[in-house]
Amino acid sequence: MKITALAGGVGGAKLAHGLAHVLPPEDLTIIVNTGDDFEHLGLSICPDLDTVCYTLAGLANSETGWGRAGETWNTIANIERLGGPAWFRLGDQDIATHLERTRRLKEGQSLSSITREFCQAWGIQPTVLPMTDAPVRTMVNTNEGELAFQEYFVHRRCEPIVKGFRFDGVTEAKPAPGVREALDTADAVIFCPSNPWVSIDPILSVVKKITKPVIAVSPIIGGKAVKGPAAKMYTELGIEPSALAVAKHYRTTLAGFVLDTTDRESEAQIIALSIKTQVTDTLMNHLTERVRLANDVLHFIGSL
Ligand code: GDP
């Protein structure tokens, strides 16, 4: 079964990791959000792409869900000592990724081509694609005005109250080479349990149309996000955070929806939206849970 998965960082990377253990590499393509990308300390940083790649390569820090395992922090500590900006924590190994990516981008290589070569170097076999090679930047409209995504997310720790989102540059951005083909040749498209507003929506705003059956996995369990501001965003936008709210968010696109056992009581309401459902354990702390959920999702797709 050929699968194309859409992913943000932490939640997306976990399911992508499970899928990579279950599917032959030629049958799995992961399209990653680049709306979180930004330029910082002169470096081009792609947080979601790096989280997905580090996770697939077994290089990720399993405690934080982002960054590298066994990381040291000498560079950022010395930048801070010199009075430079240290709010975005960059480890020494991680900085090597950003330095080398920035060097290649400056030489004119595309982000998708750099990502392909980094994946080879890290021994990652499934195809990992940025959603676009063009700069698309998620902007967060808040009670304090419009903020660039990392300014809102990391610098301001998601404190400002969210009023909406804008994906700057999206009108000019084309899907990266391979993205359209991966979506059109897949048997099914999986929306990983990523933040609907700022991880999946930016990808959808670039790719626009998906013609193959879409199955989403809920990032909201028991009304809460496992990590990050997804539930807070729902509340601030006037929607009660729940698996049902996520299903409604994707409503027009969905063939199937995977929700956590905790949210079983919402199943009937989701079925009433003409969406098929599967109820299972969706928390993925360890590889065994990621593989089990990946298998569950693939069986569900097979049954549709
Ligand atoms: P980000 O770009 O790093 O914020 O990453 P994502 O958008 O991919 O992931 C954030 C979302 O993943 C949050 O809404 C979390 O609730 C969700 N998430 C994280 N871990 C898990 C998990 O183990 N299971 C499920 N179902 N969702 C998760």
pLDDT in tens, the chain (304 residues): 999 999 999 999 999 999 999 999 999 999 999 999 999 999 999 999 999 999 999 999 988 888 999 999 999 999 999 999 999 999 999 999 999 999 999 999 999 999 999 999 999 999 999 999 999 999 999 999 999 999 999 999 999 999 999 999 999 999 999 999 999 999 999 999 999 999 999 999 999 999 999 999 999 999 999 999 999 999 999 999 999 999 999 998 999 999 999 999 999 999 999 999 999 999 999 999 999 999 999 999 999 9
Q: Residue 65's pLDDT is what?
A: 82
Q: Residue 158's pLDDT is what?
A: 97
| Cα-to-centroid distance, 167 and ligand 1 (Å) | 20
97 in any annotated domain: no
| Cα-to-centroid distance, 35 and ligand 1 (Å) | 16
| Cα-to-centroid distance, 226 and ligand 1 (Å) | 6
210 in any annotated domain: yes
Total domains in the chain come to 1
91 in any annotated domain: no
Task: At 59, list the tokens.
Answer: 């290089």
Cβ of 193 closer than 6 Å to ligand 1, yes or no, is yes
Four-residue CA torsion sign, 267, 223, 220, 296: negative
Q: Which atom of ligand 1 is nearest to the CA of 282?
A: 26
117 in any annotated domain: no
Q: Which of 89, 190, 194, when mutated, tests ligand 1's pocket best, judged by the most ligand atoms within 8 Å of its CB?
A: 194
73 in any annotated domain: no
Q: Which domain holds residue 133?
A: 3-37+125-137+170-303
| Cα-to-centroid distance, 106 and ligand 1 (Å) | 32
77 in any annotated domain: no
CATH code for the domain in which residue 206 is found = 3.40.50.10680
Cβ of 283 closer than 6 Å to ligand 1, yes or no, is yes
178 in any annotated domain: yes
Q: Which atom of ligand 1 is nearest to the CA of 7?
A: 8
Q: Which atom of ligand 1 is nearest to the CA of 48?
A: 2
71 in any annotated domain: no
Q: Which atom of ligand 1 is nearest to the CA of 230?
A: 14
Cβ of 275 closer than 6 Å to ligand 1, yes or no, is no
Q: Residue 66's pLDDT is what?
A: 87
| Cα-to-centroid distance, 225 and ligand 1 (Å) | 7
Cβ of 10 closer than 6 Å to ligand 1, yes or no, is yes
